[in-house]
Structure 1
C-alpha cells in the first residue's frame, strides 16, 4: 500500500509539474502574441504618420486612411475636415450623407457620438457609427468616423484612442508649419540686418575704381549683384556649403576693395563637405562680424579665417578673427537677444536657427575676450530630416 501511495504521489507531482510547464508555455506564447500585436500596431501607425504630419488635407487623408482602418481592425472608416469628407475606406456612398451630418455635430460639440445608422439596403450589415472629433490645440479640425455592425465597447475605445493619436499627429503638423513660418521670419529679419553701411561702403569703393580701373569696377559690380541676388533670393531655409562659400567669396572681394592689403583672409575647406546642406545665410553674417570687429577699431592688419572640416557625421565650421574681441558677458547678452543688433550682426538669429533645426546641442559656441579676438564655432549634421529642407 505504501508503494502504491508513493507511486500516486510521484504521478501527482509529475502532473502538477506538467501543468505548471504548460501554464508557463502558454504565458510565454501569450506574451509573444502580445508583442507581435504591439509591433504590428506600431508599424501601421508609423506608416500612417508621415501623411498625417502634412496636415488634414484630401491627399494626406487619402494616404493615411487604409492604415487608420487597419488600426481599427478593418472597420469601415472615414476622415472629415470641418466642411466635407476627405477620404473613406469601406464606406458605402449611401452612408456618407448621414456621416457628414454626424461629423458636423461632433465637430460643433467637440465630443464623441455613438449612433444607430439607417440604411435602405437590406443586405447592409452596418448598424452603428462612432464619430470622434479630431482636435489640435483645443480647436476641432475634423472628425474620424467608424462604422460597425455593433458599437462594441472595445471598438468605441479603440476609435477614441486612434482619434487621439491622429489628433496628436495633426498637432505636430501644425507645429511643423509654425516652425517653418518662424524660420522664414527669422531669415527675413537676418536679411534686414545686412548692413546698409556695408552697402554704402561697397558702392563707394566701386565708384572709386570707375576711372582708375574700370574693369575691376565692373567685376566688383557683378560681385555685388551676385551677392545681393543670393542674399535676397526666394526664401529657402537650406543651401549647400558650396553655395554659401561662393557668396562669401563675392562678399570678401567687395571687402578687399575697401581694405586693400590690410585685410588678410584664409579659407580652408575639405572638398568632401562642400555638398552638405547648411542653413541659408549662416556663415556670411559671421564673416561680416569678423571683418567688422576684426578691422574696425584696430590699426594695421586684420586677419580672418574660415575653416570647414569633415567630422564624421557632422561638418565643423569656424570663423575666427584677431580683432578687438568682446566681453563674454556682453556676448551672453547678444545671444540672449538683449543687446542691440549692431553689437553682433545676426548672432542670436543664427544661434536660434541652428538650435531650432538641429537641436540645442547645435547652438553657436563662441570663444572671445577683450583684446583676444573672436572665434565662432558651429556644427551641422550631414544628414538632415526631410522636413528641414
Structure 2
C-alpha cells in the first residue's frame, strides 16, 4: 500500500470510527475513545486530546504526568492553543515541559489545533518515542485528523444548536397560549355554570387537559392522530363560545394514521384560522382540517371561510407580530418546519379577501409503530370524510 493510500485509509477509518463519539460532544469519555481509536489505527506511540485547559483523553506509552484530568503542562501545547497553528516537535526539549527530570519516553509529536467556527477549542497530539522519526505520514495524519475532528465537532455543534433552536421555538409557542383564550373560556364556563352545569364541568375538564398537554409536551414529534385530538379539543372549547358561528370538520385519510408530525404545528394553524379568519367575520364560518398521504409526503390542509388575509399583508405573514398578532403562530410553525426539513418545506398559504384562507403543511412521511388511534380511525370511516362536528355540515376543504 502506498503512503497516499495508507494516509487515506487511516483518515477514513478514523473518521468513521470516531464520528459516533464526536457527535456526543468533546468530553473526557468521548475524548478517551477517540484517543484509543487513533492509537490503534495510526502509526504512533501515544495520542492525547485536550480542551483549552486540561487533558481529556490519553492512550499509549505513558508519561506519569500525562493523565486525564490533569492541566496542560507543556508550552508547546499552549502555543498551539494560542496561535491556532499546527506545531511539529522534534525533541524533548521542544515540548518545554516544566517537570524537571521527567522520565517520559515521548520524544517528538505533532500538535494540531481543534477548531469550531474558527475558534480553537482544544488540541490533538500524536506522539513518537524517536525524536528523529516523525514520518511525513504521521505529520499529515495529525493535520488531517485534526481537521476531520474539527469538522465533525462543528457539524455536531450545529446540530445541537438546531435542536436547541427547535426546542426554544416550541417553548415560545407553548408560552404563546393567549390570555384572551383562557379568559374567554373561563367566562364561557361561568356562563354555562348558570344555565348548563354539566356542560360547564365538561368544558373545565377539556380546558385543563388542553393546557396540561400544551405546557408539558417535551417530545419534538407526535403522531398525527394525537396532534389532531389536541386540535379537536381546542375546537370544541372554542365552539362552546362561538356556537353556530364555528362549524368544523376533520377529514383524515386512514393511510395518514401513524405518521409523525412536529408537535404543536397544526393547532396553531387552526387557532390562527379561528381567531383571525372566522372570529372577525359576521356570522362566523366553516373550518376544515384535512390530511392525506401522497407521494411519500403527508399533506395537511387547514382551510377556513373567514375574512381572508389583506393583500398588503400577504408577503408579511411569516413575520412575528404582523397583523395584530396574526403572524405569531404562522411564523413560529414556519420557522420550525424550515429548520427541521429545509426551505422547501415551509408553509404554503393561499387567501382571498372575504372568501377565506388555506394553509398547507407538507412533511416527509415518517411513521411510529402502533398505528392509529381508534377514535379517529372510526371517525375517518374507512376513507370517507368524517361527519361534521358540532352543528351544520361544513363544506369540504380543498383536497390536500
Aligned: 1:154 with 2:131: no
Q: CA deviation at 1:235?
A: 4.3
8 Å contact kept, 1:72–1:159: no
| TM-score normalised by L of structure 2 | 0.78
8 Å contact kept, 1:334–1:348: yes
Aligned to 2:308: 325
Q: CA deviation at 1:236?
A: 3.9
| TM-score normalised by L of structure 1 | 0.80
After superposition, the CA RMSD in angstroms is 2.9
Q: Which is richer in helix?
A: 1
Q: CA deviation at 1:90?
A: 2.1
Aligned to 2:317: 334
Q: CA deviation at 1:111?
A: 2.6
1:245-260 correspondence runs (5 A)? 245-260=228-243
Aligned: 1:293 with 2:267: no
8 Å contact kept, 2:227–2:267: yes
8 Å contact kept, 2:276–2:326: no
User: Equivalent of 1:177, from 140, 154, 160?
Assistant: 160
- Which 5+ residue runs of structure 2 have no aligned equivalent? 94-100, 368-400
8 Å contact kept, 1:224–1:254: yes
Tell me: CA distance 1:341–1:188, structure 2 relative to 1, closer, same or farther (3 Å). Answer: farther
8 Å contact kept, 2:48–2:59: yes
1:159-170 correspondence runs (5 A)? 159-170=142-153
User: Equivalent of 1:89, from 50, 56, 59?
Assistant: 59
Q: CA deviation at 1:193?
A: 2.8
User: Equivalent of 1:106, from 80, 92, 104?
Assistant: 80
8 Å contact kept, 1:45–1:67: no
User: Equivalent of 1:195, from 169, 178, 181?
Assistant: 178
Tell me: CA distance 1:304–1:40, structure 2 relative to 1, closer, same or farther (3 Å). Answer: farther
Q: Secondary structure at the match of 1:96?
A: coil
8 Å contact kept, 1:80–1:144: yes
Q: Secondary structure at the match of 1:100?
A: coil
8 Å contact kept, 1:238–1:277: yes
Q: CA deviation at 1:215?
A: 1.8
Q: CA deviation at 1:152?
A: 2.2
8 Å contact kept, 1:303–1:322: yes
Q: CA deviation at 1:93?
A: 4.2
Q: Secondary structure at the match of 2:134?
A: coil
Q: CA deviation at 1:304?
A: 0.8
Tell me: CA distance 1:93–1:341, structure 2 relative to 1, closer, same or farther (3 Å). Answer: farther
8 Å contact kept, 1:247–1:284: yes
1:237-386 correspondence runs (5 A)? 237-337=220-320, 339-340=322-323, 342-383=325-366
Q: Give CA-to-partner distance per residue, 1:61-110, whole Å, 9 cap, x none.
A: 23433444466446531211223222223242436169932334422343
For 2:194 and 2:347, locate their aligned partners in 1 and report how far apart those are by CA, in whole Å: 44
Q: CA deviation at 1:205?
A: 0.9
For 2:275 and 2:258, locate their aligned partners in 1 and report how far apart those are by CA, in whole Å: 28
For 1:56 and 1:107, locate their aligned partners in 2 and report how far apart those are by CA, in whole Å: 16
Q: CA deviation at 1:285?
A: 0.9
Tell me: CA distance 1:373–1:40, structure 2 relative to 1, closer, same or farther (3 Å). Answer: farther
Tell me: CA distance 1:283–1:169, structure 2 relative to 1, closer, same or farther (3 Å). Answer: same
Q: Give CA-to-partner distance per residue, 1:195-243, whole Å, 9 cap, x none.
A: 2222111111111111222221111111111111111115443333233
Q: Give CA-to-partner distance per residue, 1:352-383, whole Å, 9 cap, x none.
A: 11001111111001111212311111112234
Aligned: 1:128 with 2:128: no
8 Å contact kept, 2:269–2:330: yes
Q: Secondary structure at the match of 1:342?
A: coil
Q: Give CA-to-partner distance per residue, 1:269-289, whole Å, 9 cap, x none.
A: 234433333222111110011
Aligned: 1:218 with 2:218: no
For 1:250 and 1:59, locate their aligned partners in 2 and report how far apart those are by CA, in whole Å: 46
